[in-house]
Structure 1
């Protein structure tokens, strides 16, 4: 692995067994868990590995590349005496690497004067600073309704066939922190070659501006590499944030592919499986990644994590989304129903939530009317769904004029607020204005969650042509 710090010690040749991606070595002494190893084949080729387990004089090493072409005889293994460490610093920005950190852009290996362990260092909870500033993504549905806050971990729950990769790339390409030093670290795991090319093309501008570090693990790369990719990305991000003083957004997709790799390695090790054959330590393993975000008191910068995962068969109770929900602070849920009508991004506003949104919105952060407008819009959408169910029972003609306004609100929300181009960078002010347009199609008496003064100002400023046709005809008399 290029760029890694490795002090080669004693070489061992006692390979007892090759088991999938694992090498079992006997006769070792002084070897510890998570230690970095260099594997030299009889042909002279070098591969790299990490110690998964040590039992007396036997060590189990996972090979980061693969064990293809390896033979028990002629294979030598040297242990470094330390965990895997990589160089950190701004040299990663503008680079495209594979899942092991080797250059994939034709450039030289990434080097640096400072090295850091990829396993990270736990942060003292007492030194954690509460998140309080927004990260604006340029996606209206996220910025207004599920605002991402610096230092937050906010996952995207998706399903097969939904454009979660497109959304992840769009957010990574557009996200900003209000003019402060900013960078994006993107970790792709288990991507097809077409998806990998899409990611590289979509983030080319940010990479050229030296604001992006890209790690790409493709589906045909060794499965062990998939476990290393997010740890490399987070290690790079932590240094950029807490030493270089940047606000860093880490996008990790797809965490389901990561979890399946963890399950495969666990099976190769012969561990007792837990729910749906995943290892019993899936929760703690995911937490070891997600919890590497936040802000540290007395240090500049922040690390914000946006993991993307696909729910098998759309099942939100599947172990990966289920455990992710316990660890993280909300979720952005993508809907197959919204996607079926051709709306992008297909965000389900009632299923989505950002638990730290109140900490990062409001005066001096986004806009003074942001929290109340977002809450009112969510409440109106919930009422709209109730009215739609009522209309299915008693018919549209039996609804009151106010109910008709709510009945039309969901379509107005989808077309005028939610719908957005995959390369459209929408400002917060424009997104808020669109939210107001949707809400002002309702009678003012129904906007009880918004202070009276903003409502009256926006009612006077609204053009009648912006209202849905059904709402204009359904409401008798002038608007109040």
Structure 2
């Protein structure tokens, strides 16, 4: 793996003598301040022995002879005289390998399925290492989700990071689990890692039930952080997921899809730790390093030259009050390569998934769709569907002013087209998987309600091939 990374773990990551300390100088929120330390470094793994059992943590800061330790399980019930802190002498590591497949664990990687602790081929640092930019390869093969609106209009590409932006009350979790259950790739093997953060127990039960078949087949890893679990654990959950995915991808040769929901809950945990450290807040109370923190997660995806595997990331986040300028979606949009935006207005019309197609895009779609990738008409028909939807939106706005009956024939055709495309192409069942051919044929059928002269973004040859018959002649007139 040395050619994949900018650097290898420092020698201090090797197991060594473990030093114990009982000089606890402060307990604040999820943080412990330990005094009298020497030779301790940032991100070093920590074990906290308490009367109630073992807790785990990481070193966040070192100042003189004091170390600030973040405790994943929280510090509730701890008193300074009954704590024994042991520093491991290396960053937090987990065992990685195929033993994770088919397992259901909590946000720290402890089994929830009644099975034994997970063992693997080797130890890997949870913090990970950034991919060497020189060794990166541009994504160029599609990941088909079986969801028409994504496959047709915002195609996901192997190695891409494509977030889903939503608001509370919309079915973003249903869409995320549907993608996890249905997604496929043309590679030799395809795996999914699903990391849930801050979910209510009812939602966790839904996720486990919805993904049970793929989990049982050994193609999926579930990491579940519940809403009543320590918030600080959410900082660890996505890092565990990505560490497991990197091993499966770059050492086992699998195409791995990582779905992380909800990144807003993750960011709130980062803000909580920042407040406990008494750092100066930036926008809306989030720390100034939130951008680099999110980038450290999202940028762990990609493809590597000379390797068959890939890591594709789909973060899911809820926008407070639907505000797309909120720091979490705003920064996520800077880092990632597009977005899928869910709309309350479209949901109110009974469309699932309620994707606002005109606010959504996949910046890498042209690298993974079209001839030699999906179908030769894919990019053209996608552009035509979106252009027609933009015109239909204008026609709908005009109809609200003057009434639908006062519209011209062409504008009325666009209103019919909008209803047709929403009901025949965009709307589908939560358990329905569609092939790409079926999806694109549905797109052509929706375009068929428009006058022929309106189809300016597809060639006459494509029109003749995809819209043959007497109906086409009527549309010409």
Give the TM-score normalised by the residue count of structure 2. Answer: 0.95
1:183-225 deviation line (CA, Å, top 9, x unaligned):
0000000000000010000110000010001000000001110
Q: Report the more deviating stretch, 132-141 or 387-396.
A: 387-396
Structure 1 counterpart of 2:276: 268
Give, in angstroms, the shift of residue 478 of structure 1: 5.7
Quote how far apart the aligned CAs of 1:327 are. 0.4
Partner of 1:85: 93
TM-aligned CA deviation for residue 7 of structure 1: 5.4
Secondary structure in 1 matching 2:110: coil
- Corresponding position of 1:172: 180
Kindly indicate whether residue 463 of structure 2 is the aligned counterpart of residue 455 of structure 1.
Answer: yes
C-alpha contact (below 8 Å) 1:186/1:251 kept by paired residues: yes
1:363 is matched with which residue?
Answer: 371
Is 1:144 equivalent to 2:189 in the alignment?
no
Does the alignment pair 1:104 with 2:109?
no
Change (3 A) 1:111 1:19: same
Query: CA contact under 8 A between 2:40 and 2:62: conserved in structure 1?
Result: yes
Partner residue, 2:53: 45
Match of 2:35 in 1: 26
Q: Deviations over 1:358-381 (max 9, x none)?
A: 000011210000000000000000
| Residue 73 (1) aligns with residue 81 (2) | yes
Runs of 4+ in 1 over 6 A off after TM superposition: none
Tell me, yes or no, if structure 1 residue 127 matches structure 2 residue 135: yes
SS in 1 for 2:185: coil
Q: 1:346 aligns with which of 341, 348, 354?
A: 354
Distance apart, 1:479 and its partner CA? 3.7
Secondary structure (helix, strand or coil) at the match of 1:331 reads: strand
Secondary structure (helix, strand or coil) at the match of 1:432 reads: helix
Q: Which residue of 1 aligns with 2:7?
A: none
Shift of 1:132: 0.2
Partner of 2:300: 292
Deviation at 1:331, TM superposition (A): 0.2
For 1:478 and 1:132, the matched residues in 2 are separated by: 37
SS at match of 1:73: helix
Q: SS where residue 160 of structure 2 aligns? A: coil
Partner residue, 2:285: 277
Q: Give, in angstroms, the shift of residue 391 of structure 1.
A: 2.1
Distance of aligned partners of 1:129 and 1:478 in 2 relative to their CA distance in 1, 3 Å threshold: closer
Whole-Å separation in 1 of the counterparts to 2:171 and 2:403: 34
Deviation string 1:390-414 (CA, Å, 9 cap, x unpaired) is 2223332332211211122111111
Offset at residue 68 of structure 1 (A): 2.1
The C-alpha deviation readout for 1:98-127, integer Å capped at 9, x for no partner, is 000000100000012311001111111111
Q: Secondary structure at the match of 1:108?
A: coil
> Partner residue of 1:305?
313
* More divergent stretch after superposition (4-13 vs 210-219): 4-13
Aligned-residue offset at 1:340? 1.1
* Preserved CA contact (<8 Å) 2:452 2:475: no
* Partner residue in 2 for 1:473: none
Correspondence for 1:211 among 203, 219, 223: 219
Give 2:454's aligned residue: 446
Q: In 2 relative to 1, CA 96–477 (structure 1 residues): closer, same or farther, beyond 3 Å? A: closer
Of 337, 344, 350, the match for 1:329: 337
| Greater displacement, 338-347 / 311-320 | 338-347
C-alpha contact 2:192 2:219 (8 A) present in aligned 1: yes
2:420 aligned partner: 412
Q: Residue in 2 aligned with 1:428?
A: 436
Closer/same/farther in 2, CA of residues 8 and 342 from structure 1, 3 Å limit: farther
Cα shift at 1:8: 5.6
- The unaligned stretches of length 5 or more in structure 2 are 1-12
User: Corresponding residue for 1:472?
Assistant: none
Shift, 1:459, TM fit:
2.0
Contact kept? 1:5, 1:85, Cα under 8 Å: no
The aligned residue for residue 235 of structure 2 is 227
Residue 115 of structure 1 aligns to a residue whose secondary structure is: strand
Contact 1:384 1:406 in 2 (8 A): yes
Contact 1:8 1:78 in 2 (8 A): no
Q: Distance in 1 between matches of 2:219 and 2:17?
A: 34
TM-score (norm 1): 0.94
Query: Residue 14 of structure 1 aligns with which residue?
Result: 23
What are the superposed Cα offsets for residues 267-294 of structure 1, whole Å, 9 maximum, x if unpaired? Answer: 0110000000001101000000000000
Deviation at 1:241, TM superposition (A): 0.3
**Do the aligned partners of 1:5 and 1:84 also contact (CA within 8 Å) in 2?**
no
Deviates more, 1:394-403 or 1:138-147: 394-403
Q: Which runs of 5+ in 1 are unaligned?
A: 468-475
1:425-459 per-residue CA deviation (whole Å, 9 max, x = no partner) reads 11111110100011111111111110111101222
State the Cα distance separating 1:477 from its structure 2 match. 5.3
Cα distance in 1 for partners of 2:23, 2:80 equals: 8
